[in-house]
Amino acid sequence: MLSVGSAYGALEPVFKKIAYSFAIPTIIMLGVLYASVVGRFLFFRIMRNSVHRYSHSLVGWTVWIAVIAGLWVFAFIIAGVIPFFNDLLSNPSI
């Protein structure tokens, strides 16, 4: 079966650069958007009855950063486990 990563790899260098210039920003933008929505949900669940929920405190920022970092680590683990995403991530550089 032909995967997206190997399909991009079969392109000529100019077309490969054009394809990746559209794909990579879109993937990053959607990843940031979905991570922030899920992170906000988790943050509000964790800090449900806390004064740190709406104040800019060290505890609030630490929990927010930990939630977002945890989501990104989880996303990269899932991306490495699923074969389709592993092929997409492991494609040689342009």
Of the pLDDT bands very low, low, confident and very high (cuts 50, 70, 90), residue 2 is very low
pLDDT at res. 88: 63
Averaged pLDDT of the chain? 82
Q: 94, 17 in Cβ contact below 8 A? A: yes
Q: 23, 52 in Cβ contact below 8 A? A: no
CA distance 72 to 33: 12
Q: 35, 75 in Cβ contact below 8 A? A: yes
CA distance 94 to 81: 24
pLDDT at res. 85: 66
Of the pLDDT bands very low, low, confident and very high (cuts 50, 70, 90), residue 54 is confident
Residue 93 Cα to chain centre, angstroms? 19
